[in-house]
């Protein structure tokens, strides 16, 4: 199912599921070409603390996407190149973090998908407060372990486990409708004509 979902854009999935499941628009890939898709391994950190993130990538399974909430504190670089290398070596599909990261050039060079609020050089502490693989909330969206996370240049979409098949079916139908519209546009019709807004 993950392989099928990865074929759709986040915008298509968002529309297909009734415009729900999108994380805050500020969370973007650190490099525009980065994409990810996989089941969520959720992490809750405390402000300025990242030790739990080290444990997260060590415990997550190959193919998982780490999804981290940083308790609303953004002025630290919670993740860097060494953690990216460790996670990539273990086969993780990427990181989505409601916070900042650092070492962006090195992470980009290794090709490990990282989606974050931005970049910050400020370091973190290591007290290991937080939770692993428990439900978290980012931007009003509840993310459960195992929900499918899809990321592209436009942003991040959360597909609940119970709606994966529905998402695939509705996204497929939507893409078929949009291709029909593209064909009409190529024939010279305007979108105003196609949608009957004249």
Binding site residues, as ranges? 80-83, 102-103
At 195, list the tokens: 């949608």
The rounded distance, in Å, linking the Cα atoms of 155 and 158 is: 10
In sign, the C-alpha dihedral spanning 79, 81, 85, 88 is positive
Are β-strands 100-101 and 118-119 bridged in parallel, bridged antiparallel, or unpaired? parallel
Known binding residues for Mg(2+) are: 103
Residues 6+ apart with CB under 8 A from 82: 103
Which residues make up each annotated binding site for substrate? 80-83, 102
DSSP H/E element including 151: strand 148-152
- Residue 20 sits at the vertex; the CA angle it makes with 118 and 88, to the nearest 5 degrees, is 45
How far is Cα 161 from Cα 193, in angstroms, rounded to an integer?
Answer: 38
Q: What does the H/E/C string look like for 81-118? A: HHHHHHHHHCCCCEEEEECEECCHHHHHHHCCCEEECE
Q: How far apart are CA 67 and CA 186, in angstroms?
A: 40
């Amino acid at each position: 199912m993950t392989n099928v979902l990865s074929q759709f854009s986040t915008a298509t999935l968002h529309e297909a599921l009734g415009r729900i499941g999108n994380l805050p628009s500020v969370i973007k890939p650190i490099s525009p070409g980065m994409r990810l898709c996989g089941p969520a391994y959720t992490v809750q950190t405390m402000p300025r603390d990242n030790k739990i993130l080290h444990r997260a990538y060590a415990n997550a399974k190959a193919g998982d996407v780490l999804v981290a909430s940083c308790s609303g504190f953004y002025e630290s670089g919670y993740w860097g190149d060494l953690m990216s290398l460790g996670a990539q070596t273990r086969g993780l599909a990427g990181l989505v973090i409601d916070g900042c990261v650092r070492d962006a050039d090195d992470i980009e060079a290794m090709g490990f998908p990282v989606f974050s609020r931005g970049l910050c050089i400020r370091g973190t502490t290591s007290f290991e407060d937080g939770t692993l693989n428990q439900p978290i909330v980012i931007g009003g969206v509840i993310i459960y372990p195992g929900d499918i996370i899809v990321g592209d240049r436009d942003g991040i979409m959360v597909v609940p486990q119970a709606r994966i098949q529905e998402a695939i079916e509705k996204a497929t139908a939507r893409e078929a409708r949009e291709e029909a519209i593209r064909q009409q546009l190529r024939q010279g019709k305007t979108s105003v004509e196609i949608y009957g807004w004249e």
